[in-house]
Structure 1
Amino acid sequence: MIDEGIYLLVIGVALLIVELLYFKLAKHFGIVDRPSARGSSTRVTLRGGGIIFYLGVVAYLLTGRSMYYIWFFLGLTAIAIVSFIDDLHSLKPKLRLLVHFLAMVFLFVQLGLFTVSSWLWLPVAFIVCAGVVNIFNFMDGINGITGGYALVGLGFLLYVDYAVHPFADAVFIKIMIVAVLIFCFFNFRTKAKCFAGDVGSVSIAFVLLFLVGKLVITTHDFSWFIVMIVYGVDGCLTIVHRIIMHEDLTKPHRNHAYQIMANELGMPHVSVSLIYMALQSVACAVYIVFPGYITLVAFTILYSIAYVLFMKKYFYLHRKNM
């Protein structure tokens, strides 16, 4: 049997080569990200580099490690395709949302959630999971934030799988970490060579949802969602904030805390991304020592207070630039 280290190295080299080939295609066909109302970039950059996350899952399946994840793969494929098309030509929100819900159906089949007793709470689960995917998409606006945040989450889940409660194939998580590291090499820098694009942010969100879902079902404990607490607080409270200000939620914006840090406060993108990684790492580390709902609730309250205080102090700068 091939050594696992060599196996991961071969896959990593293959993914790197495919990523570089994609860059050539993206440059040739003009698949680029231009400065917009939602993003915080100021230069034209290759878009869709996050396709490597989807390709990491493909590599895992093609090597014959396991076909057990086939329903998850079908859902990921559907959501990745519509997201990549949206990167090329903007699609109607209703079409994207429809495909997102279809992908969730495949995900829930994979997780075995369609049971007689589940029908009462399934609608809520659909809304929450679709919301998580879209929040990851909204949070993908500066260099390093998507890759860095995904690394923290995947690293935490790998530790849990080894040291706390086995729930998934550790090789799958490692391959995803390799894919994210390759992406970070091109994105986690002052002048990024590529952005994740919708295909990247949505795909990695779907992967994390799948892994957290497996862990929750295996342990019957929803508090594992602490792995997404920072994005959850920022994303949800930003939506609430926009509703209070009577803003159109379908329109682009720069209201997230990380965007105000990068735009109004002029903080380097990499520094802001490191802050978000650190906040999530602290929550995960404390949860390992003190697992359970108390820790989840405590960090939800703590980070919510921090968000509100930050907005009270600095949001006026954003309004001045509107």
Structure 2
Amino acid sequence: MEFILITILLFAAILIYFKIADKYNIIDKPNHRSAHSQITLRGGGIIFPIAFVIFCLFNFKEAMETYWSFGLGLVAICLVSFMDDVKNLSGKIRISVHFISVVLLLYFTKTFSLFPLWTWPVFFIMTIGTLNAYNFMDGINGMTAAYTLVTLLTLLYINHDIVLFTQEDFIVYAILASLVFLFFNFRKKAKCFAGDVGSMGIGFWIIALITLLIMKTHDYKYILLFSVYGIEVVLTIIERLYLRENIFEAHRRHLYQLLANEKKVPHLVISSIYAIAQLLINVFLIFSNLPLGIIILIIFIPSGSIYLIFKLSLKKKFQSVIK
């Protein structure tokens, strides 16, 4: 009954936000880099920080004792991301807030107390890189919603049946928010986009969960719960560096962008393929007892090969686009 009530509250919250976004013209206008062609409401991903606020209301004591640092980090990164969705902020402001949020995240996951000082920069780079990867991959209908749901359901299964690494509701509330967002975004004509507030917010939440899992098990294979996004982003960066492009500028070189824009593959088909690919990898991770190095090779060699094959097949069409 509690979860039904939470779902109703989340639906009510996002519908209220739609009214606000429509009134104040918080929209996403298509441009030459966009994979969509219609004006759509932006910032629907605000449902994720709202879900955490509701989680705090229903779990007040635990929130005050355990989740306060995570909550401050989440609110900070979501607030600056939402402001950036509405009106572009300077990079210095965004980077500063991201830094503070990551500090709070690493404090929440006890990374500072469990690892020596010299490793902290590595965790900063990995966390900020993963956050940005989640943001980069939020470009077509259903991508963030479907991929996030697969990852969260996997984490729920691990927490329930393999090893308890966090309070179950902390995962369930994120799942309910994902389902509500999925209802409005996983469509041929999406009602809303996640915006930076959504991609950064849920990315922050999932990074926290996976870090808690790794801290509990000391098993680093669980970082591969991000592997599909990771492979896509890393190979795209390598390609852009090889072509001597500025990797900090917006582009249309991601495979999902090429499939959507050049091959005209339906967005929901692409999003489903990415989600299913990560689901298959997750199943392999959970039930495999192989060494981490072997697991990485088994995942990355086929995935990287598929990526390169598709990129080569699309090369001619893409070159004609960028001329």
TM score, norm. by length of structure 2: 0.95
Distance 1:44 1:116, change over 3 A: closer
Q: Is the 8 A contact 1:37 1:252 kept in 2?
A: no
Paired residues, number = 317
Residue in 1 that maps onto 2:38: 43
Identify unmatched segments of 5+ residues in structure 2. Answer: none
Residue-by-residue CA offset, 1:168-209 (whole Å, 9 max, x unaligned): 111121111111000010000100000000000000100000
Match for 1:79: what amino acid? I
Q: Is the 8 A contact 1:147 1:180 kept in 2?
A: yes
Following TM superposition, the consecutive aligned residue runs of length 4 or more in structure 1 with deviations greater than 6 angstroms are none
Whole-Å separation in 2 of the counterparts to 1:63 and 1:174: 13
1:202-221 to 2 correspondence within 5 Å? 202-221=200-219
Residue in 2 that maps onto 1:307: 307
Residue in 1 that maps onto 2:10: 15
- The partner residue of 2:58 within 63, 68, 79 is 63
Identify unmatched segments of 5+ residues in structure 1. Answer: 1-5
Whole-Å separation in 2 of the counterparts to 1:310 and 1:188: 24
Match for 2:218: what amino acid? H
Residue in 2 that maps onto 1:295: 295
Residue in 2 that maps onto 1:279: 277
- The partner residue of 2:88 within 87, 90, 99 is 90
Match for 2:310: what amino acid? F
The reply to whether residue 253 of structure 1 matches residue 251 of structure 2 is yes
Q: Percent identity?
A: 38
Match for 2:37: what amino acid? T
**1:301 CA displacement:** 2.4
Match for 1:126: what amino acid? F
Residue-by-residue CA offset, 1:188-247 (whole Å, 9 max, x unaligned): 010000000000000010000000000000001111011110000001111111111111
1:1-322 to 2 correspondence within 5 Å? 6-64=1-59, 66-67=62-63, 68-115=66-113, 117-291=115-289, 293=292, 294-322=294-322
**1:319 CA displacement:** 1.8
Match for 1:289: what amino acid? F
| Partner SS for 1:120 | helix
TM score, norm. by length of structure 1: 0.96
Q: Give the RMSD, CA atoms, in angstroms.
A: 1.3
| Partner SS for 2:118 | coil
| Partner SS for 2:173 | helix
> Which stretch of the first structure deviates more once superposed, 289-298 or 182-191?
289-298
> Which stretch of the first structure deviates more once superposed, 292-301 or 101-110?
292-301
**1:116 CA displacement:** 7.9
**1:47 CA displacement:** 0.1
**1:117 CA displacement:** 4.6
Whole-Å separation in 2 of the counterparts to 1:223 and 1:74: 28
Q: Is the 8 A contact 1:60 1:175 kept in 2?
A: yes
**1:321 CA displacement:** 1.0
Distance 1:314 1:106, change over 3 A: same
